[in-house]
Chains A and B, each alone.
Chain A
Amino acid sequence: MRLTFILQDFKKVGELTKQYSNLPDSYIKRSMEQIIYRTPDKPNYLRRSVGKKQIKFTENRPWTIQSKLENTLFTKTPVIYVEPIRDWSIFKGDRVEILVGRDKGKQGIVIQVIQERNWVLVGNLNMKITTMKMFKRKPSTVIREEQPLRVTDQVSLIDPSDMLPCKIEWRYTEEGEKVRVSLRSGRIIPIPILAKETYDYKTRTSYEEKDKDTTADVVSKITFTPRLCTFEMDLMDKVGIKEDRIPSPVYWY
C-alpha cells in the first residue's frame, strides 16, 4: 500500500480514491473535465482548450454520472478551502470516535474516505433522515444517509489499548516500516485490512480472473534473451524474411 502521498492541489483527485477505484489516470481525467474544443497537436497551434476543467468534489465520485449532473458546463465552481495534510492517517476500516454533533462520543467504523475534501463517512452514525413523499399512490419512504465528517478536528482515532480517543504520530520501526503510534500509550495502531480493499477485489489473492485476463503464470514468465539486434531485425529472422537491399543515404533536416 502506498502511504506516502501528498495532496498538493485541491483540484486533484486524491491518491486513496484512485487506489480504491482501480481506474487508469487518463480515464479519470477524461471523465472529469468537460472539454468542448481542443487545439490540434500541430506546431502552428498553441496548446489551448475550451470547456470546464475543474469540478466540485462531493461524495459522488468524479467519474460517475451523478457528479456530471452536479457539475454541468455552466455552473460556477465555488472556491472550497481544504486544509493541506502531510500524512493521511485515517483509513477505511479504522475505529473512530466522533467529537462533534448529535452522535458526539460514539464510536464507529470508517466506511469511506473522501480525500479531496478531508472527509470521512462513519457507518450508521451522523445520519441524516429524509422522507421521499408520496407519488402516484406509492407509499412514502424514509431514507437514512451518513453525513461526512472532517478528518482534522471532527473525528479522532482510537487507541486499541484502552479504547479511548488519542492523538497519533507517524514513526519508523527498527525494520524501517512506517507505522502509526498513539502519543498517550505509545502503542502501534495497525492499518486495517479493509484499507487495501478495492472495487475489483477484497484481497489480491481472492480476485476472480475474468475471461479476458491473462493468468499470473503467463505474465510472470521470463522469455527475453538479449541479442545484438533491434526489435524488427529479430522478428525478420523469426518470420524468415530476407532482405539484401540497403537504403541509400539521406539528409535529415
Chain B
Amino acid sequence: MKNFNKFTLIWRGTEYEKKKLKEYPARLEVEREHGVRHPGYWAGNKFVVIPEAIPDIIVPDLTNCQFKPYVSYRTPDISQGEFTAEDLFNEIYSEKIENDFKQNKLNAEGNSLEPSEEEKLTCTEAFNNARKVGSDLFSQDRPYPTREELLNLD
C-alpha cells in the first residue's frame, strides 16, 4: 500500500540501529504530532507547570435530571429558526428604544439620554466580558478547496 510509507518513524530499535539513526539526523527531525497541549513551559530541561493552564472542567449537578440520551418518537414536530443577533437585539434593546422615542429621551445621534446598563457597554468591554471566562474557542470545520479553486491557481 502506497500510503503506508507515509507513516513517520519514532525512536526505537537496537543499539546498532540507533547509532545509524544518529549518523543521519535528518530522519530524527520527523516527529508525530499528538496534539498534546502541555500546561506550562520548558525552562531548560525542567518543565514548569502553570496552574491556570490546567484545564478545569465545570460539571453540573446531574441528580434529578430528566434528560436522557435519546428522544422518543412520540414527540410532536418542533420548528424553531436560528437564533441570530437580530433576535437578541429585539429581545433586549428594542422595547427601551421605543419607549425612549415616545418620551423624547433620544439624542440627535439616536442615543438615549438615560442609558441602561446594557446600553452603557462599550465594544471592548463586551468583548472582555466574554473572554474573561477563559473557555476554549470554537472553530469552523476545515473546508476542502472546491474544484474551481483548484483549477484557478494563480
Interface residues of A (CB under 8 A from B): 22, 37, 39, 41, 43, 47-48, 50, 200-201, 204-205, 207, 209-210, 212-216, 218-220, 226-230, 232-233, 235-236, 239, 241, 243-247
Contacts and interface: CB of A to CB of B under 8 A. Distances in A.
Contacts of A214: 66-68, 70-72
Contact of A39 (B3, B87, B135): B3
B74 to A, nearest CB: 5
Instruction: Please name the 10 residue pairs, one residue from A and one from B, whose CB atoms are nearest each other, closest first.
Output: A213-B72, A232-B133, A216-B75, A207-B73, A226-B91, A216-B74, A214-B68, A209-B72, A232-B135, A219-B75
A213 B68 contact: yes
A37 B4 CA distance: 9
Given A219-B75, A229-B129, 4 more contacts: A39-B3, A215-B66, A220-B78, A235-B58
Interface string B57-86: 010100000111111111110100001000
Interface of A is mostly: loop
Contacts of A37: 1, 3
Contacts of B75: 216, 219-220
Interface of B is mostly: loop
Interface of B: 1, 3, 58, 60, 66-76, 78, 83, 87-88, 91-92, 118, 128-135, 142, 144
Contacts of A207: 72-74
A31 to B, nearest CB: 19
Contacts of B71: 213-214, 219
Contacts of A205: 74
A213 B66 CA distance: 10
Contact of A243 (B68, B74, B134): B134
A39 B144 CA distance: 13
Nearest to A231: B135
Contacts of B134: 243, 247
Nearest to A226: B91
20 contacts: A43-B142, A207-B72, A209-B72, A210-B72, A212-B68, A212-B69, A213-B72, A214-B71, A216-B75, A216-B76, A219-B75, A220-B78, A228-B88, A228-B92, A232-B130, A233-B133, A241-B58, A243-B132, A243-B134, A247-B132
